[in-house]
Amino acid sequence: MQRRPKGIDLFAGPGGLSFGLTKSGFDIVAAVEWDKAASRTYRHNIGDHVHQIDVTEFPPAMLEKILVDSNIITSRNEIALISGGPPCPAFSMMGRSKISNLIKTGKWGGSDSRHAFIDDPRVKLFTNFVDYVRYFSPDLFLMENVSGMNSFKQEQTGVVKPIIEVIRTEFARIGYAVKHRTVNASSYGVPQNRKRVIFLGWKKGAKEPEYPTEHDEIVRAREAIDDLPPISTEDGMTPLKKQARLPLKGTPGRDFIRWCRTTKPIVANGKPPPLHHTRPVNPRDQAIFPNLKSGEHASRVLYKDIAMEDVQKNLPEGYRLREFKTIPNRVEGPAWGRQKRTKWIFYDQSKFGDKMRRIRGDEPAPTMVAHLAKDGYMFVHPDEHRTISVREAARFQSFPDCFDFSAGGVNSISDQFRQIGNAVPPLLSEALGKELIKALGEGSH
């Protein structure tokens, strides 16, 4: 059997990129991730080779020494791939909108608006990625980032250049050719419309890698979670333990669910918890959610479109809708669950019109985001009146059911949602990894 090419995963998160690359035939010998909860998840599911540290304080020479001293490699020349997704919030449209608002309101702490984006130190993390590529000199590298990077510009020596060109120049300076393409994860079997820029780089003399071929069929949101049992709105848990039978043979949904159920873990940690739980639905939201329409069967209805009289009809027994001159509409009622709070104020519909949305079941799910850690209002279940569960979010990201985001019950539900929103979909990672393996000439494994 041929030796598996070795790789290093930077900004690894919970391990979506590492998982897919490992399944494609790589041996990921080291990962770097600063977040404690994500590092726990990575270690629990993928291996002990993750280093929980800020990459800016962890130079590549230090990592090489650890790997050599541990007899994992004999020299840096054994590393065939550097991969990772530098977290650059300012590249995303949401991040840029937030910064622009700070500039307009006079609350921005950086320089003027022409330089605002480059004042965010996280934008420069890709230079740490370049440092690792320069030091280890792998044949190939893979870098993933948000699609907003395409329109992002940075000022250099008085000239405004697209950040894509800045990145090309940086890699060319160290002897690498690089190409980029915006891909949609839904084109590679992921039941989610998630657009990302994928950079593929190769050293002079190495073979140029190709992008994987897109699939002819997509997996729709409902198909991806159709076998998971219903969840109670009262406690966010399911009273049922068994999954439903697989859908009809020969459908993309069946193949996807079978993959999720049968894919084996990299690290065996006993039977993983299902993680099919979500947040309880408070009385206010119990009245709102039934009014939300995804647009699948009727005209789309967002939070801004809901009339208060329709909310009033759905309020649980014992609750009422009240309005005050100085306070927006709010739901009042008796004590609820374990919470002492008995009042839920409505968000301003004119300012937060799309805060609550229902997922269409007949299309891939919308992009999972880290905001899931705070609430799941943008991800209301296609059919049930609740937000999606951890396992459903993981399915939409194409994580198999063996993957435990709780790291054995240690990580909170907010940590679990945040990690999922930040992760690289494993099926996309695996498809990219197979093409990189071909470019390295290692064949299939």
301: exposed, middle or buried (Cβ count in 10 Å: 0-12, 13-18, 19+): middle
Closest to 85 (Cα-Cα) out of 434, 437, 428, 439: 428
Q: Which of 17, 81, 88, 218 does the annotation list as catalytic?
A: 88
Closest to 64 (Cα-Cα) out of 2, 6, 3: 6
- CA-CA distance, 120 to 105, in Å (whole number)? 18
SS3 of 346, please? coil
What's CA 118's distance to the chain center, in Å?
Answer: 24
Residue 5 sits at φ, ψ, to 5 deg, of -65, 140
Residue 307's DSSP bridge partners are none
SS3 of 200, please? strand
Cα Dmax for the chain:
75
Which two structure tokens, joined as six digits, stand for 323? 């309005």
User: How far are the Cα atoms of 132, 275, 375, 404, 432 from residue 279, in angstroms, in the given order?
Assistant: 40, 12, 8, 18, 34
Residue 421 sits at φ, ψ, to 5 deg, of -65, -30
292: exposed, middle or buried (Cβ count in 10 Å: 0-12, 13-18, 19+): buried
Amino acid at 331: V
SS3 of 275, please? coil
User: How far are the Cα atoms of 185, 367, 399 from residue 429, in angstroms, in the given order?
Assistant: 9, 16, 11
Beta-strand runs (E) in 99-217: 140-146, 153-156, 159-162, 176-184, 195-203
Residue 321 sits at φ, ψ, to 5 deg, of -105, 125
**Any catalytic annotation for residue 88?**
yes
Closest to 344 (Cα-Cα) out of 322, 377, 325: 322
Catalytic residue numbers read: 88
